Chain A
Amino acid sequence: SYVLTQPPSVSVAPGQTARITCGGNNIGSKSVHWYQQKPGQAPVLVVYDDSDRPSGIPERFSGSNSGNTATLTISRVEAGDEADYYCQVWDSSSDHPGVFGTGTTVTVL
């Protein structure tokens, strides 16, 4: 089945930019979605279809996808952005189509 690899952790100072990568074989040919999950809470969709934002998600959250890497960028990081982040794709050619990345913990210093 399709595998998505994320760095376990990313640390960033307030006001700086955090970049979270999601690696997968030719991931650029797929639509990538990103979720934020805070402790004890359900995930929240922050970016879908590579770079679109659901209503209510700040413009500080943006996404890109090309080649073998998709990236979630959080600009002007705030303390409230501290959370786990997961990428996700749908591999329709697979018998196991739903795939989440391994997850990245973002720590705001």
Chain B
Amino acid sequence: NAGVTQTPKFRILKIGQSMTLQCTQDMNHNYMYWYRQDPGMGLKLIYYSVGAGITDKGEVPNGYNVSRSTTEDFPLRLELAAPSQTSVYFCASSYEGQTTGELFFGEGSRLTVL
């Protein structure tokens, strides 16, 4: 059982480039989330989805886009990368939404924008 899988694990981008962080889960969870974590800071919610075809903005959505065409996949796209987007990105999923508090996280994608 792989759980939540994120790719790539590491990436260096130049300012203005675009890229997509991939996230897939095999637990048949309806809810999926993207967080970013800056050094010494808490996780900030970027976008979330409550099911295929439905996405919503979180706390820090600017500069990002998401889609949810299937239950399993929730890619995060960065358009026109900026140094402020240097961070560790975590994808997570849950079965019943956030009310139970148990989110299953991927191992993270470390992105550096130079």
Q: Bound pair: A and B?
A: no
Write the residues of chain A forming the contact surface with B, with a CB cutoff of 8 angstroms: none
Write the residues of chain B forming the contact surface with A, with a CB cutoff of 8 angstroms: none
